[in-house]
Amino acid sequence: MIERYSTPEMRDLWSERAKFAAWLEVELAACEVWAENGRIPAEDLWAIKHNARFDEARIAELERTLHHDVIAFTTNLAENIGPAARHVHLGLTSNDVVDTAQSLRLRSAGRLIMEEVAGLISDLRQAAIDHKEIIMIGRTHGVHAEPITLGFKFLIYYQEMLRNRTRLEAAFADAVVGKISGAVGTCAHTGPDFEKRVCAKLGLPVAPVSTQVLQRDRHAALVCALAVCGATIEKIATEIRGLQRTEVREVEEPFSSGQKGSSAMPHKRNPVKCEQLCGLARLLRGYVVPALENIALWHERDISHSSAERVILPDATTLLHYMLRLTRRVVTGLHIYPGSMKRNLERTRGLVFSQRIMLALVEAGMSREEAYEVVQSAAMKTWENEASSLRQHLLADPRFTAVMTAEQLDAMMNYASFLRHLNALYDRALR
């Protein structure tokens, strides 16, 4: 991932140095188990552990000739270890090292991501509480519907992020496993106990069965979970973008001192952070298809998944980590304009009360069909005449005044009446 959309922690985690360090960790764990089994003399194990070093430039130089990155790596180790290097990589195949080491890095990536997920959940929960009383219009199809609160929006996002946390925890747990099962997965040269003990030293669960590689449904499910979380971020960002439009301007993403919105128009305050998040969510979703296509490999393994994974796993985890961190800055720094919310509530001149009034007419004895027609007729006249109100047209209709007084109508036309059940929703959702 380019530096612009990376975080320092993820850049370090997915660096070439970190990759080789993880490979070495797996190789050393295998050597320790061989030593415990009596296959590696103590003095050779000492030489391996104290002399095992790698040089990225030397590995790259070797790979230009060998065309095999793992052999280049073990060759470089041997150059530094000396004769005891004959025990390194004993009974292993390349992907025993590569896949298991990748799981080590995915575990670290998961910890970084879950830390930001927890932070965003906390931020959304607090925003739901802080903005619980700020009344605004709810919209369906982009059209004014009935009043809600700004906090209610964040309550929705809070619950969705809880679901993302569950999905991500399960996906990382499924993907972060080890395998030391050999060339076709039969443990022919090491044995299942060896595999279990090496993985235990690395703190990894062992895959119950594998081929030469861990099965890629694990990684596909992880990338899908990352993309779903990214889609939730896009959902939040899209809503803020919509509410920041000049005609609406109910909320606005943070705009810092000295920030410029346009090279041409000095007045501009554009939702560039949220637009960036939406674009990156598209990119993140793009990794799902190669992740799914990596599942079907020839026989016990081919290499078609490898080139794709070198890109999609570092990029997907890095992108989501960056997106989560940016979303937290947006949510906690949001500018809120209750005055605009009040003006927008009143723009339709009472139309938001149409359902409440229709139900009251039904309760008063009118058929639902007639009640709907009475209220819709008054509503359509209100839409067509911007100088009029729903109240005015209802009171001009004798069908309405036959069952309801002006005082009863006025008692219904208050915004707080829509929100009397909100506390119960909060109690249910804020777990």
- In which element (H, E) is residue 160 found? helix 150-175
| Distances 369 to 352, 375, 376, 407 between C-alpha atoms, Å | 19, 10, 11, 24
Q: Tell me the DSSP string of 191-248.
A: -HHHHHHHHHHHT-PBPSS-SSS--THHHHHHHHHHHHHHHHHHHHHHHHHHHHSTTT
31, 48 in Cβ contact below 8 A?
Answer: yes
Instruction: Give the Cβ contact number of residue 106 at 10 Å.
Output: 23
Instruction: Give the Cβ contact number of residue 192 at 10 Å.
Output: 14
CA distance 370 to 259: 56
CA distance 134 to 127: 11
Phi, psi (5° rounding) for residue 148?
Answer: -135, -165
Q: 317, 373, 65: which is closest to 175 by C-alpha?
A: 317
| Distances 216 to 110, 174, 181, 396 between C-alpha atoms, Å | 17, 11, 16, 69
Contacts of 288 (CB under 8 A, 6+ apart): 220, 223, 224, 227
76, 62 in Cβ contact below 8 A?
Answer: yes
103 in catalytic set: no
CA distance 326 to 272: 11
CA distance 234 to 322: 13
Q: Helix, strand, or coil here: 99?
A: helix
The residue annotated as part of the active site, out of 141, 267, 299, 421, is: 141
The residue annotated as part of the active site, out of 50, 189, 262, 307, is: 262
122 in catalytic set: no
**Stated length of the chain:** 431
Q: 322-341 burial, b if ≥16 CB within 10 A, otherwise e?
A: bbbbbbbebbeebebbeebb
CA distance 323 to 164: 14
113, 317 in Cβ contact below 8 A?
Answer: yes
Q: Helix, strand, or coil here: 137?
A: strand
Q: Helix, strand, or coil here: 120?
A: helix
Kindly list the catalytic residues.
Answer: 141, 262
